[in-house]
Amino acid sequence: MSNLKHTKIGRLSFILALILLIYFIIIIMSDIMNPISFSSEKTSQISNASNISKAIETQREMLIISVISIISFILGIIARIQKKESKKILPTIAIIISGLFLIPVINGLIKFIFM
């Protein structure tokens, strides 16, 4: 059996994909532990301002996740098509994970452009 190693680009793409996956799990756990309550009784300017700041934070987070996912996807493809004799399992896993995170991004771009 040959002694193949993973490339640095393949490992980096896999680590970025793992960061996305861990972040997603943390967000799901925090949403389960602290569900959002929708009460229409207390509507004031203070709550509206806090909702706007939360929306801006969420948009910033989604942009960061999208950029990390795109970088991981591209690095995974680069590591996958390298001619160098190396293991290809980590870049393949990274392409799958980051590709799953890119589906909503691509869907949103298509809706934005054509609708």
Query: What mean pLDDT is predicted for residues 23-36?
Result: 85
CA distance 74 to 70: 6
- Cβ atoms < 10 Å from Cβ of 95: 22
pLDDT at residue 46 tops 60: no
pLDDT > 70 in the chain, percent = 85
Instruction: Among 3-7, 10-14, 16-20, 97-101, name the one with the lowest average pLDDT.
Output: 3-7
Query: What mean pLDDT is predicted for residues 52-72?
Result: 85
End-to-end CA distance of the chain: 54
Instruction: Among 21-25, 27-31, 79-83, name the one with the lowest average pLDDT.
Output: 27-31
CA distance 68 to 97: 12
DSSP 37: P
Helix (H) or strand (E) segment spanning residue 76:
helix 45-81
Q: What is the pLDDT of residue 75?
A: 95
